[in-house]
Amino acid sequence: MESFEAQFDLDTILDLVQGVFLPGSASNIHPHRYSGSMAEMDLDEQRDSAVFSLIDKVLQRKLPLFAVCRGLQELNVALGGTLHANVQEVPGRMDHREDKTVPREQQYGVAHPIEVVPGGMLAGIVGAESLQVNSLHAQGIETLGKRLVVEATAEDGQIEAVSMPGQWVLGVQWHPEWRYRDNPEFAVLFEAFGKALRDPRLRAPKI
């Protein structure tokens, strides 16, 4: 299948937007992108090809970027970080995957708490020291990408949120879009992203 960037010009698309949201996915990043070992997992190399070119251009333009789950992992890898292919196989880490045998409501239900880093971007948005989040991932951050800082961690030490100082860039490992209207601590993330999109100082330059 022809790649996305072969069919569309990313710069032309980015000239039309004020920011980018990177959603999660059932697929995983191919391990060769972060020098990881191959494991049994669902892959989407077409997305891999498109998204890393996209992230580079978004960061160059200093556009607001909100990355969720796989999006967080993509952001980390794009900046030279690495991933655990299967967090649940790392000694001392818990199983962050969802139980696919239960209804979706339960899969996206609260899974564990996270500790929010005081004084960080995420803390400023949610106004809380901890959050209860869902968890539906096998891959997870191992080494942090360049220019990123940790914004939250799970109780087992797994990185759950990152930001990039100097730019409106936020990545979270959970899925705040799930029933966000019922969870004010998730809704405020999208409200903050929306405010960044409306800020004329953060709009894409015409290049």
Q: CB neighbours of 161 closer than 8 A, spacing ≥ 6?
A: 72, 114, 116, 122, 150, 151, 152, 170, 171, 172, 173
69 noted as active-site residue: yes
Check residue 202 and give left, alpha or beta (phi > 0: left; psi -120 to 50: alpha): alpha
Q: Which two tokens stand for residue 71?
A: 């999006």
177 noted as active-site residue: yes
Q: C-alpha 80: how far from its chain's center?
A: 15
Q: Which of 84, 96, 137, 175 is catalytic?
A: 175
* Rg of the chain taking only CA atoms, in angstroms: 17
175 noted as active-site residue: yes
Q: Which of 69, 96, 98, 137 is catalytic?
A: 69
The closest alpha carbon to 155, from 130, 175, 189, belongs to: 130
Q: Which of 5, 142, 177, 185 is catalytic?
A: 177
Residue 135 contacts residue 91 (beta carbons within 8 Å): no
Q: What residues act catalytically? A: 69, 175, 177
